[in-house]
Amino acid sequence: MGKKMLTIWITLCIVLIVFHIPAKAAPSNPEKERLLLYQGMEAVTGIPWPYLAAVDQYERNLRRLNKDRPEEKGLIAIHILPHRWSGPFNPDPDDRVPASIRFFGGMGRDADGDGKADPENDMDVLYSFARYLAEFGRTRDDIRIGLWKYYRHPVAVDIITHMARIYETMGKLDLKENHFPIPLHYNYTYRSTWGDRRGWGGLRIHEGTDIFADYGTPVLSTCYGYVELMGWNRYGGWRIGIRDLYNNYHYYGHLNGFNKEIKQGDVVKPGTVLGYVGSSGYGPPGTAGKFPPHLHFGLYTFNGSTTYSVDPYPRLRAWERETRKQLKKQQNQKHKARTGWLPVPTQAVPR
């Protein structure tokens, strides 16, 4: 075992032993154990862990969105194709020998010291990808170049970079919380309108759900996300676009204005005020009043090659229920802090 490989193995062993991560056992806390692996690889390769987390999550999303991809088996979802793992000119696409893989220019490396470069081994896969990125450098721009060389798609590069920014800001992986885009104590109404016919600007379908509310009603972030876009669109008026951790782009249109503390490039949490309900759009900048005030909420997904609109209505219903439960939990916690006991749920009296 070479000196460099020995250093890698010792570093990873320290991470595994100190934090008691069993190599083969089913993970009891996947987010925690993934984070430790990412941080261990950062120590070895110098690639900041948020980028490794972002690549892994991006690949996990692709597995979910594309049925032709193999199912995720371990902690790490990164899928390196055989010709990339073993080398483009390697006559054996299933090669596991580190020396021959290096000879044929493959990405596969042995990180755990077992003498095999195994594409099914979490540490081998993560180290191999981190090492690939490190060949281009370790700054943000260097990593973006490496991502471009690997994925060859600008949207993929942006998504991974923005996801890394979310992880960097929040400092953790468990970021699954969502929030309904309108405060529940405000008056609002909505129904499924995705796919309805629209005529302004040419015949088209409605790519979202309209949530009708009064002018000035706060519009809230539905997710942990990165603010990719803010400004005017002739259809959506004043709008803001936020990228989440699941390859989704959340679109908030027809706003009356933005939260002045929010700017493009910021990371937001679920429930953050983004702007306010209005009736802007259907014309040049400043056009408003051509329809009743409402929030147009759209959801767009990137599957690795194409971005497409999905019906947000089912998720809005789920987020509405989730937000109501969260509010109820917060109220109970406040009640307990004030009185020392939780309120007893009201039950119907038998008749």
Residues 216 and 253 in one domain: yes
pLDDT tens digits, one per residue of 87-141: 999 999 999 999 999 999 999 999 999 999 999 999 999 999 999 999 999 999 9
pLDDT tens for residues 15-46?
Answer: 554 444 444 455 678 999 999 999 999 999 99
Whether residue 182 is predicted with pLDDT greater than 50 in this model: the reply is yes
**Are 258 and 327 within one domain?**
yes
- Relative to beta strand 294-302, strand 209-213 is antiparallel
Domain annotation covers residue 299: yes
Residue 266 lies in a domain: yes
Which one-letter DSSP state was computed for residue 14? H
Query: Does one domain contain both 218 and 123?
Result: no
pLDDT band of residue 153 (cuts 50, 70, 90) is very high
Is 257 part of any domain? yes
Handedness of CA 73, 75, 77, 81 (dihedral sign): negative
Predicted confidence (pLDDT) per residue in 9-18, tens digit: 555 554 554 4
Residues 24, 146, single domain; the answer is yes
Residue 351 reports pLDDT greater than 50: no
Range of the domain at 266: 188-334
Closest CA to 293 of 235, 181, 229, 217: 217
Mark whether 276 and 227 lie in a shared domain.
yes
Plot region of 161 (φ>0 → left; ψ -120 to 50 → alpha; else → beta): alpha
110 plus 238 within the same structural domain:
no
Given this model, what pLDDT does residue 350 score? 45
Task: Identify the pLDDT of residue 264.
Answer: 97
In a domain, 134, yes or no: yes
- Mean predicted lDDT score pLDDT of the chain: 89
Residue 102 located in a structural domain? yes
Q: 161 with 198, same domain?
A: no
Q: pLDDT tens across 307-339, in order? A: 999 999 999 999 999 999 998 888 888 777 777
Residues 7, 148: one domain?
yes
Does some domain include residue 176?
no
Instruction: Say if residue 101 is in the same domain as residue 161.
Output: yes
Same domain, 159 and 218: no
Residue 106 falls inside a structural domain = yes
Backbone torsions φ then ψ of 206, nearest 5 degrees: -80, 115
pLDDT for residue 238 is more than 80: yes
Number of domains forming the structure of the chain: 2
